[in-house]
């Protein structure tokens, strides 16, 4: 027999359900409030304070420019800091329009075009206040309150002092205004929703200024300020998580950018740069050449050309001091990248009279590479500026992956420094994927790591990477 509840019982039951829902909502609100309180408490203990003295972090100049006026000294310092930050490399698509933006940056979520940062009032930052500019670099928020995408490295720029940010703005104010509106971003839904960056920032961004470590030297602190901040070295050399934020583990242990391998720069003697001397590291940053170790190509060549070659010797030494103090990260390799290879002795003579019916790596090497790198692989010009580099004891040939070697063959090298103008032509239009793979495999087998091999399909995938 079916029974029905009385109106009074139904009302009581409804009231209990309402109170239960209210209790659950209150509990959730309290949990959220406790999280916010914990987060604020944690940040108050660990977040750097804006106005801490930077004298211990400045290895080159302890004077503080007058931020209330665009003095010549402030502008000069701003120009230097703009080079340290490599701002021109990202914000210049057309050399005829420096700093006007428009450079496409490919991400796993779509394509982002860099903005115009000339003082043009309509299309640039001419109408931005100093407060707007500081907020952009420190918090990743634009003049209109829009969230920036982390292709702009505000995650690192947040560590800069306000004085240095003002100096950069003072320099940018002296640029010729360029009236140019870059193309709109090409991001897939939902990644084109900027408000989602609030969630991204929650997990990947700790806003706050750099705090010198009182237990470390001024040289170390200056290096940390540059590497972790304005120079934003982690953007290329630290692996990323599934959200494309920087991993907190394995810092500086290497990562992949647009098909290029940014190598391990921790002081591990096998996987990293632990076997490089200080002078060799400084030479690499200032010229792109570390004889017997590596030659800058791809994105690193751009960094040397536009940024690190202009750094003072004191700042370069500070960067080296900081890198030396990083925790070494082993990449699981048993031999350094620059410890491979011997000169070819009789490879060329063995070709004579040989009928070749397939893509032969040696034959292709002799035809396309030997005129500059010599058929022995020893290069031409030894360590002179602008010399053709040796493929022996060369990080590109001795790396566990031959990706960078194939990328160099496909795209060439262009690196202009105060010492030389280095140009290796791109062979991507002249050689097929199978031919690039054949040359790469010959080079790694003869002069580098023989376990680093490539297939034509893998070369095709590298070729497809937007540059």
Which residue did the predictor score with more confidence, 385 or 255?
Answer: 255
Angle among Cα 283, 289, 295 to the nearest 5 degrees reads 140
Express each pLDDT in 7-27 by its tens digit.
555 555 556 665 555 555 455
Express each pLDDT in 347-360 by its tens digit.
888 888 777 778 89
In the structure, what pLDDT confidence band is assigned to residue 385 with cuts at 50, 70 and 90? Answer: confident
pLDDT at 29: 45
In the structure, what pLDDT confidence band is assigned to residue 33 with cuts at 50, 70 and 90? Answer: very low
Quick one: average pLDDT of 150-160?
96
Quick one: average pLDDT of 26-40?
43
- Domain 218-337 identical in fold to domain 338-463: yes
What residues contact 343, with CB distance under 8 A and at least 6 apart? 376, 377, 378, 392
Confidence check: pLDDT of 55 > 60: no
pLDDT at 13: 56
**Longest CA–CA separation in the chain, Å:** 106
pLDDT at 466: 87
- Identify each DSSP E strand in 7-85 by its residue range: none
How far, CA to CA in Å, does 340 sit from each of 293, 337, 384? 10, 7, 22
Mean pLDDT over each residue of the chain, to the nearest integer: 87
User: pTM (2 decimals)?
Assistant: 0.83
What residues contact 88, with CB distance under 8 A and at least 6 apart? 82, 98, 99, 306
Return the CATH superfamily for domain 338-463.
Cytochrome c-like domain (1.10.760.10)
Quick one: average pLDDT of 48-70?
45
Segment among 36-45, 65-74, 165-174 with least mean pLDDT: 36-45
Domain assignments of the chain as residue spans, ordered by start: 72-204, 218-337, 338-463
How large a percentage of the chain has pLDDT more than 90? 76
pLDDT at 217: 97
Express each pLDDT in 358-371 by its tens digit.
889 999 999 999 99
Confidence check: pLDDT of 221 > 80: yes
- Is the domain spanning 218-337 CATH 1.10.760? The answer is yes
In 259-308, which residue ranges form alpha helices assigned H by DSSP? 278-287, 298-306
Which residue did the predictor score with more confidence, 462 or 109?
Answer: 462
Express each pLDDT in 244-292 by its tens digit.
999 999 999 999 989 999 999 999 999 999 999 999 999 999 999 999 9
Express each pLDDT in 300-327 by its tens digit.
999 999 999 999 999 999 999 999 999 9
How far, CA to CA in Å, does 445 sit from each of 222, 308, 333, 352, 386? 42, 33, 17, 20, 26
Which residue did the predictor score with more confidence, 273 or 6?
Answer: 273
Count CA atoms closer than 13 A to 356's CA, side-chain side: 11
Express each pLDDT in 395-433 by its tens digit.
999 999 999 999 999 999 999 999 899 999 999 999 999
């Amino acid at each position: 027999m079916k029974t029905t509840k009385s109106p009074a019982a139904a009302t009581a039951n409804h009231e209990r359900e309402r109170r239960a829902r209210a209790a659950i909502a209150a509990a959730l609100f309290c949990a959220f409030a406790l999280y916010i309180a914990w987060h604020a408490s944690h940040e108050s203990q660990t977040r750097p304070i804006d106005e801490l003295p930077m004298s211990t972090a400045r290895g080159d100049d302890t004077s503080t420019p007058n931020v209330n006026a665009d003095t010549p000294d402030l502008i000069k310092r701003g120009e230097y800091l703009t080079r340290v930050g490599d701002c021109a490399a990202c914000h210049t698509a057309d050399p005829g329009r420096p700093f006007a933006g428009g450079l496409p940056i490919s991400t796993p979520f779509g394509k982002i075009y860099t903005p115009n940062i000339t003082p043009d009032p309509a299309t640039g930052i001419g109408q931005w206040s100093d407060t707007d500019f500081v907020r952009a670099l420190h918090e990743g928020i634009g003049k209109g309150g829009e969230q920036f995408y982390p292709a702009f490295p505000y995650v690192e720029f947040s560590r800069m002092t306000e004085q240095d940010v003002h100096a950069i703005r003072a320099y940018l104010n002296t640029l010729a205004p360029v009236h140019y509106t870059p193309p709109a971003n090409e991001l897939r839904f939902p990644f084109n929703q900027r408000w989602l960056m609030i969630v991204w920032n929650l997990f990947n961004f700790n806003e706050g200024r750099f705090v010198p470590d009182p237990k470390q030297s001024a040289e170390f602190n200056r290096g940390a300020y540059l590497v972790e901040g304005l120079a934003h070295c982690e953007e290329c050399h630290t692996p990323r998580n599934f959200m494309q934020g920087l991993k907190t583990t394995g810092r500086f242990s290497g990562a992949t950018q647009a098909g290029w391998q940014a190598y391990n720069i921790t002081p591990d003697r096998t996987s990293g740069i632990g076997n490089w001397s200080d002078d060799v590291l400084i030479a690499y940053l200032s010229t792109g050449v570390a004889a017997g170790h590596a030659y800058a190509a791809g994105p690193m060549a751009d960094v040397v050309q536009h940024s690190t070659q202009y750094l003072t010797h004191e700042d370069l030494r500070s960067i080296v001091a900081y890198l030396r103090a990083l925790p070494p990260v082993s990449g699981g390799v048993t031999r350094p990248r620059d410890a491979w290879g011997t000169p070819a002795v009789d490879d060329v003579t063995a070709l004579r009279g040989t009928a070749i019916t397939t893509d032969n790596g040696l034959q292709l090497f002799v035809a396309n590479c030997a005129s500059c790198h010599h058929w022995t692989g020893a290069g031409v010009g030894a360590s002179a500026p602008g010399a053709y580099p040796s493929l022996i004891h060369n990080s590109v040939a001795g790396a566990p992956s031959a990706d960078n070697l194939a990328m160099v063959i496909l795209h060439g090298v262009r690196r202009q420094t105060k010492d030389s103008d280095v140009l290796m032509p791109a062979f991507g239009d002249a050689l097929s994927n199978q031919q690039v793979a054949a040359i790469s495999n010959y080079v790694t087998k003869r002069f580098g790591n023989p376990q680093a091999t490539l297939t034509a399909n893998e070369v095709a995938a590298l070729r497809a990477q937007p540059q």
